[in-house]
């Protein structure tokens, strides 16, 4: 019986997500964005997005879809930092957007073509990952303007327990920008909307979702600042891989 109720609550939650996206990006944002100069509209859109995602996370908790816990929330206060996270679920970005202030994310180009999410991606100034020539300058510009940059170094959803294999982009961006890194650890027990899972696959037990924010990492304190950039990025990436591997163990 409890699982049946959670299935109904899950379906309702996804409907709320879709209808909420339509309401925010096709009605509220167009009706209010004109009050802000064009240069600051992306930041305004990100504030609007954050409120919407926080509502959705709380909705999922109150309707019994999941039990949600956020640990170390105070470590998310700050600007111009690189936020890295493991990537077990499709819902990871929802959780990060809900709690990271002024968050810009590097997104897959395929997402930008989906009508429901393509519009907010453009309005919020998120960065498409399809052009390597513009990705790095856009990421550096966002950090220098005070935005927080969200990156999933695994690149795609990865089942929990698999070896941590990170791309070097997060480390390289942090080093070039002189930005600190905030590691975020995402855990779902049992997994919800993981790789290969459909939206209607409701776990037998209510998922316990935990977001743990780790201590800020200042790259120059964990690697030699005099190293060539490529070597420094590789070593910083290995440091992050060890950090997440130790957490998974």
Q: Domain ranges in the chain?
A: 2-248
Contacts 24+ apart (CB under 8 A), 192-198: 192/66, 192/89, 192/91, 193/89, 193/90, 193/91, 194/88, 194/89, 194/90, 194/157, 194/159, 194/160, 195/156, 195/157, 195/158, 195/159
Task: For 130-159, write each residue's pLDDT tens digit.
Answer: 767 789 999 999 999 999 999 999 999 998
Q: What is the DSSP letter of 194?
A: B
pLDDT score of 143: 97
What backbone phi and psi angles, to 5 degrees, belong to 162? -70, 150
Task: Name residues whose C-beta falls within 8 Å of residue 124's C-beta, 6 or more positions apart in sequence.
Answer: 42, 45, 46, 49, 104
Q: Residue ranges of the alpha helices (H) in the chain?
A: 2-23, 29-32, 41-62, 92-99, 109-112, 115-124, 132-144, 169-177, 219-222, 229-248
**Are 190 and 175 contacting, i.e. CB atoms less than 8 angstroms apart?**
no
pLDDT score of 133: 78
**Are 104 and 142 contacting, i.e. CB atoms less than 8 angstroms apart?**
yes
How are beta strands 103-107 and 82-85 bridged, if at all? unpaired
How are beta strands 127-128 and 103-107 bridged, if at all? parallel
Per DSSP, the three-state class of 18 is: helix
Give the closest residue to 117 by CA, choosing from 143, 93, 153.
Answer: 93
pLDDT score of 3: 84
In whole angstroms, give the CA distance from residue 23 to residue 16. Answer: 10
Residues of the chain with pLDDT below 50 are 1
Instruction: Please report which helix (H) or strand (E) contains residue 70, including its range.
Output: strand 67-71
Give the closest residue to 218 by CA, choosing from 189, 188, 175.
Answer: 175
Q: What is the CATH number of domain 2-248?
A: 3.40.1130
In order of 9, 10, 83, the CA distances from 59 in angstroms are 10, 10, 25
Cα Dmax for the chain: 61
**Are 126 and 138 contacting, i.e. CB atoms less than 8 angstroms apart?**
no
pLDDT score of 227: 93
Q: What is the DSSP letter of 215?
A: -
């Amino acid at each position: 019986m409890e699982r049946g109720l959670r299935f109904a609550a899950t379906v309702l939650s996804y409907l709320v997500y879709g209808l909420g996206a339509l309401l925010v990006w096709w009605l509220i944002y167009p009706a209010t964005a004109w009050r802000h100069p064009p240069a600051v509209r992306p930041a305004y859109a990100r504030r609007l997005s954050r409120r919407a995602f926080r509502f959705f996370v709380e909705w999922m908790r109150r309707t019994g879809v999941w039990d949600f816990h956020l640990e170390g929330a105070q470590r998310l206060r700050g600007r111009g930092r690189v936020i890295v996270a493991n990537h077990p679920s499709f819902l990871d970005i929802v959780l990060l957007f809900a709690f990271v202030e002024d968050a810009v994310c590097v997104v897959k180009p395929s997402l930008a073509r989906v009508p429901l999410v393509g519009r907010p991606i453009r309005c919020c100034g998120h960065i498409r990952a399809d052009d390597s020539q513009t990705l790095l300058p856009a990421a550096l510009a966002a950090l220098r303007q005070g935005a927080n940059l969200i990156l999933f170094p695994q690149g795609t959803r990865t089942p929990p327990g698999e070896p941590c294999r990170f791309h070097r982009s997060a480390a390289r961006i942090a080093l070039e920008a002189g930005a600190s890194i905030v590691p975020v650890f995402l855990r779902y027990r049992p997994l919800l909307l993981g790789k290969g899972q459909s939206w209607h696959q409701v776990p037998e037990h209510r998922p316990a979702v935990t977001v743990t924010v780790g201590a800020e990492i200042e790259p120059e304190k964990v690697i030699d600042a005099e190293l060539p950039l490529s070597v420094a990025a590789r070593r910083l990436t290995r440091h992050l891989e060890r950090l997440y591997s130790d957490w998974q163990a």
